[in-house]
Amino acid sequence: MTYTNFTIETDADGIALVTWDMPGKSMNVFTAEVLRELAAVNDAVVKDEAIKGVVFTSGKATFSGGADLSMIKGMFTFQAEEKKKNPETAAQKLFELCGEMTGLFRKIETSGKPWVSAINGTCMGGAFELSLACHGRVASNSKAVKIALPEVKVGIFPGAGGTQRVPRLTNAQDALQMMTTGQTLTPQRAKALGLVHELAAPEALIDAAKAMIKNGLKAVQPWDEKGFKAPGGSMWSAAGAQLWPAASGILRRETYGNYPGALAIVKCVYEGLQVPFDTALKIEQRYFTQILQTTEAFSMIRSLFVSMQELGKGARRPAGVPKSDFKHVGVIGAGFMGASIAYVTAAAGIPVTLIDRDIDAATKGKAHSEGLVKDSVAKGRMTQEKGEQLLALITPSADYADLKTADFVVEAVFEDRKVKKDVIEAVEAVLSPDAIFASNTSTLPITGLAENSKRPAQFIGVHFFSPVEKMMLTEVILGKETGDAALARALDYVAAIKKTPIVVNDTRGFYVNRCVFRYIHEAYDMLIEGVPAVMIENVAKMAGMPVGPLSLNDEVAIDLSQKILKATVADLGEQAVDPAHLELVNKLVDDLDRRGRKNGKGFYDYPEKPAKKHIWAGLKDLYPQKSADELDVQTLKDRFLVTIALEAARTIEEGIVTDPREADVGSILGFGFAPYTGGTLSYIDGMGAKAFVALCEKLALSYGDHFAPTPLLKDMAAKGETFYGRFDPYAKVAAAA
């Protein structure tokens, strides 16, 4: 039989080398076709008496990233279709579908012939579950090898035997840690945990795998042998009595019960270790079926797996514009933001000129990259040679003429219209005719800045988030005259530096900052009402936010909030801001000099290390305090999530954001909006527009008109619509095709 995705070569010793190499793909992924062929490969191996064992490896630089987009989306499509056909049998059919990969892997490990997985690169999700089903595992000792079961990060969990094999190979505590956090293991750590048997040099990987078979590798898994005991000991041992109460408590502390997939992992391991292996697989299959039917799993997979990949691959890129190959990028402004942009540009292998008012300032900006490189080398994340190559790509300068060969320029100077105007004019005086000018501004509308340009069609906004080297999101902002060539070039640049882009139309604050400041302003309201500051921060985390709003405001700087409020008043009038908010920040900044983390005092105090930051005690004296006992935690949680989601809905209604995928992905990557919801619009779709409108109206009665539902939301509620239905991003693509 011939295979599309696999090749089989049997050597003189009877060892079959099965190589997974999908045509036309940069990485191997599981698809329905791959699973059918893998089943056929196993059948062929079993039938062929000449084959004594199998070495399974990848023909690509990586091993496999796990399941393909189409396979994941297909499970939800299958579920929806079955519910329409017959709701009573839909769950049973989904259960059977969920067991297909589990059954195949079980068939391989009970085939009677030894299989060894030769892991040559990234091995994630289902690919590692397949490796765990093999009787032996050899990993390359290369830094390119990354091993993980990261499914919990997209709302599900390892459902093809992962929750049962891992705790039978290593102790339950490490197994839980690995799976409930989705942590990535180095090959050395995987070996230390007992999840990999051997490490080998990359060039000796296949020989090492074959040697395992030649040396008598048993074709029976440990858990299939009589008398098997899990490494962590009995569930009812003294060690177990210490582990399990603590495990569930830690999970509750870390997730606040918001992630059903994480809880299911604990249940699978706890229940599975008390029964025979095949029964344990059924338990896992049952929980996996249950989790796949949750709103959290559907929303997280859609946003954090499907949409993120689609946006990263250029879902919003204009058709017909040739891809850009960046030869030279310019960055204007060598402050913290500009220096960081230069760093990520050089890290992508692109030569970059870093410009500032004088060579000393520009050189100081490059020193920021030198610090980042030094830190990476010290932590083993980068070799000295790679670090030197990166730094060699950054050229400090004070001469705009050095930008004449740049094909893309990013301006990252002070948030002042006059300063930016001067930079735009100076750069355009030397810029080549087809080069693109991008402004990294967080507050100033791009259309207004483009009025200073002689080429507004080639002027665009590219808004980075700090710290640039860590934050994965970039907002690409279209001015009224921005052309397709500028948009395509900007998206190509964002892809080159390995960020996820969202495209938004021009408005004050764009998308992310509009939502962020709703979050912060709701905290102002709560402070003014007398809600204790500690409760504000803790309730926000309970709602799913990674950082409390007061802590976040300290990070972005309270005096920046003050500047934005004052600029809003200057541009739109006093009615555009809540005077109580302005009074609060004025008191903090002007009277108390509490500007945030940058000067060591804001809503928090920041003592010298090792002491930790803590809420400033004086906050409670600014407003009469309420007792925590008279406050409803659920209402406070609702206020935070609803005010942000409402702002996201407004940006859709105003045409600022036109694709719901971008609203969702942007909210999670930009400021960590409760990932379990799938993002701002998925949060609304998840409960339904009707229920969301009712919640808004209830909150508006008690907490103000800023909770009033918009006309769009009321219309959607009346019609039973969702954002992904009314603003279907795939319908636009189909219509354009």
- What confidence category does residue 687 fall into, taking pLDDT thresholds of 50, 70 and 90? very high
User: Is the pLDDT assigned to residue 80 strictly greater than 70?
Assistant: yes
The pLDDT value recorded for residue 370 is: 96
Quick: pLDDT tens for 628-645: 899 999 999 999 999 999
Residues 277 and 346 in one domain: no
User: Is the pLDDT assigned to residue 118 strictly greater than 90?
Assistant: yes
Residue 472, domain extent: 329-511
Quick: pLDDT tens for 21-30: 999 999 999 9
Q: What CATH number has the domain bearing residue 480?
A: 3.40.50.720
Residue 170 in any domain: the answer is yes
The pLDDT value recorded for residue 732 is: 67
What tokens were used for 255?
């997730």
Residue type, 715: D
Mean pLDDT of the chain: 94
The pLDDT value recorded for residue 76 is: 87
- Which residues are CB-contacts of 470 (< 8 A; sequence separation ≥ 6)? none
CB 346 within 8 A of CB 394: yes
CB 304 within 8 A of CB 154: yes
- What confidence category does residue 625 fall into, taking pLDDT thresholds of 50, 70 and 90? very high
The pLDDT value recorded for residue 235 is: 80
Buried b (16+ CB within 10 A) or exposed e, 583-598: ebbeebbeeeebbbbe
Residues 347 and 266 in one domain: no
Nearest to 18 by CA among 351, 40, 26, 602: 40
The pLDDT value recorded for residue 736 is: 55
User: Is the pLDDT assigned to residue 681 strictly greater than 70?
Assistant: yes
User: Is the pLDDT assigned to residue 69 strictly greater than 80?
Assistant: no
Which one of 511, 542, 562 terminates a domain?
511
Give the count of domains, the chain: 2
| DSSP conformation letters of 305-339 | IIIHHHHHTTTTSPTTPPPP--S-EEEE--SHHHH
Nearest to 404 by CA among 362, 435, 425: 435
Q: What is the mean pLDDT of residues 191-216?
A: 97
Residue 723 in any domain: the answer is no
Helices (H), 143-186: 162-169, 172-181
Residue 9 backbone dihedrals phi, psi, to 5 degrees: -125, 120
Residues 234 and 360 in one domain: no
Measure the CA–CA gap between 486 and 89, rounded to whole angstroms: 51
Q: What CATH number has the domain bearing residue 160?
A: 3.90.226.10
Please tell me the least confidently modeled range out of 58-72, 91-105, 195-209: 58-72
Residue 96 in any domain: the answer is yes
Residues 420 and 490 in one domain: yes
Residues 94 and 211 in one domain: yes
Q: What is the mean pLDDT of residues 336-358?
A: 96
- Per-residue CA distances from 674 to 222, 258, 547 (Å): 40, 9, 10
- Which residues are CB-contacts of 170 (< 8 A; sequence separation ≥ 6)? 193, 194, 195, 231, 232
Residues 277 and 405 in one domain: no
Residue 641 in any domain: the answer is no
146 by DSSP, 3-state: which?
coil
User: Is the pLDDT assigned to residue 380 strictly greater than 90?
Assistant: no
User: Is the pLDDT assigned to residue 479 strictly greater than 80?
Assistant: yes
- Per-residue CA distances from 510 to 461, 474, 507, 647, 700 (Å): 10, 12, 5, 11, 25
Residue 344 in any domain: the answer is yes
High-pLDDT (> 70) share of the chain, %: 99
| DSSP conformation letters of 459-522 | EEEEEE-SSTTT--EEEEEE-TT--HHHHHHHHHHHHHTT-EEEEEE--TTTTHHHHHHHHHHH
Strand partners, 10: 16
- What confidence category does residue 735 fall into, taking pLDDT thresholds of 50, 70 and 90? low
Measure the CA–CA gap between 567 and 309, rounded to whole angstroms: 37
Rounded to the nearest angstrom, the gap between the alpha carbon of residue 167 and the centroid of all alpha carbons in its chain is 27
Which one of 489, 511, 533 terminates a domain?
511
- Per-residue CA distances from 472 to 469, 495, 669 (Å): 8, 11, 6
Q: What is the mean pLDDT of residues 69-73?
A: 79
- Tokens 């049998």: give the residue: 89
Residues 234 and 358 in one domain: no
Measure the CA–CA gap between 476 and 488, rounded to whole angstroms: 10
Burial of 571: CB neighbours in 10 Å, binned 0-12, 13-18, 19+: exposed
- What confidence category does residue 721 fall into, taking pLDDT thresholds of 50, 70 and 90? very high
Q: What is the mean pLDDT of residues 512-528?
A: 96
- What confidence category does residue 1 fall into, taking pLDDT thresholds of 50, 70 and 90? confident
Axis-axis angle for helices 359-378, 336-347 (nearest 10):
60
- Per-residue CA distances from 355 to 118, 426, 451, 459, 711 (Å): 48, 12, 23, 19, 47
The pLDDT value recorded for residue 733 is: 60
- What confidence category does residue 275 fall into, taking pLDDT thresholds of 50, 70 and 90? very high
Instruction: Count, in order, helices (H) and strands (E) of the chain.
Output: 31, 19
Residue 676 in any domain: the answer is no
Residue 260 CA neighbour count, 13 Å, CB half: 16
Residues 275 and 344 in one domain: no
Which one of 511, 537, 555 terminates a domain?
511
Beta sheet of 115-119, edge-to-edge order: 6-10, 15-20, 53-58, 115-119, 136-140, 198-200
User: Is the pLDDT assigned to residue 485 strictly greater than 60?
Assistant: yes
Residue 460 in any domain: the answer is yes
User: Is the pLDDT assigned to residue 737 strictly greater than 60?
Assistant: no
Residues 495 and 406 in one domain: yes
Residue 197: active-site member = no
The pLDDT value recorded for residue 295 is: 95
Residues 347 and 287 in one domain: no
Nearest to 568 by CA among 556, 585, 555, 591: 585
High-pLDDT (> 90) share of the chain, %: 88
Residue 143 in any domain: the answer is yes
Nearest to 434 by CA among 468, 457, 411: 457
What tokens were used for 480?
């009224």
The pLDDT value recorded for residue 74 is: 84
Q: Which of 197, 328, 368, 463 is catalytic?
A: 463
User: Is the pLDDT assigned to residue 70 strictly greater than 90?
Assistant: no
Residues 381 and 284 in one domain: no
Buried b (16+ CB within 10 A) or exposed e, 77-102: eebeebbeeeeeebbebbbebbbebb
Q: C-alpha angle 682/686/688, rounded to 5°?
A: 115
Look at 609 and 487; give whichever has higher pLDDT. Answer: 487
The pLDDT value recorded for residue 77 is: 87
Residues 58 and 194 in one domain: yes
Residue 378 backbone dihedrals phi, psi, to 5 degrees: -65, -35
